[in-house]
Amino acid sequence: MAHIRKDSSKPTTTISLDPVLLSAIEDYRFTKRKDNRSAAIADLIQKGLRYAELVEKKKARMSV
């Protein structure tokens, strides 16, 4: 379960990233002009989840 900081209403979590992935996230952040790393990571996660959902829907259609 994520921790909710006293100074924020948003839950937080800690993740570890390898340097190559962190560099790619930083590149994305600056290319897309995100305010901070958290915003960039949240955006990438949302895009990844949408993509995964589309892939699952496509698999379901193909198996009919």
* Domain ranges, ordered by start, for the chain: 36-64
Sign of the CA dihedral running 8, 10, 13, 16: negative
Q: For residue range 18-36, list pLDDT tens digits in order.
A: 999 999 999 999 999 999 9
Q: CA 15 to CA 44: how far, in whole Å? A: 14
Q: CA 42 to CA 28: how far, in whole Å? A: 12
Identify which of 35, 47, 45 has the alpha carbon closest to the alpha carbon of residue 15: 45
What's the pLDDT band for 45 if we cut at 50, 70, 90?
very high
What's the pLDDT band for 60 if we cut at 50, 70, 90?
very high
Q: What is the mean pLDDT of residues 25-53?
A: 97
pTM for this one? Answer: 0.80
Residue 10 is predicted with a pLDDT of: 80
Do residues 32 and 40 lie in contact, with contact meaning Cβ atoms separated by under 8 Å?
A: yes
Q: CA 29 to CA 61: how far, in whole Å? A: 35
